[in-house]
Amino acid sequence: VRAFNAGNGYERTVVTDTAGRYGMPLMPPGEYVVFVEAATYASMSQTGLALRAGQVLTVEFALPLASFAESVQVTAALPAVE
């Protein structure tokens, strides 16, 4: 989980526990974008999160499974005919 404040460039990244919970105490006030990534899940973000001094802000995500696409290309040359 990554929080980014474009106004002052502040950024913090944390790892969730096994239940998906995370915490980012003592964040500077400002407007944040929060990005979430996890293996085998689609990435998500939430923008416009205004954090005031002393505020506890809860941001929850429900990540859908990522879709995987696989492509195989086979190329073969035909033998010359005499």
Give me the torsion for CA of 57, 5, 22, 39, rounded to 10°.
Answer: 130
Instruction: Using the structure block, give the residue that is written with the tokens 């205004």.
Output: 50
pLDDT at residue 24, rounded to an integer? 94
pLDDT at residue 12, rounded to an integer? 96
Residue 2: pLDDT band (50, 70, 90) is very high
Quote the CA–CA distance of 4 and 11 in Å, as a whole number: 4
8/68: higher pLDDT: 8
pLDDT in tens, 30-75: 999 999 998 888 899 999 999 999 999 999 988 888 876 666 666 5
Instruction: Using the structure block, give the residue that is written with the tokens 């001094």.
Output: 53
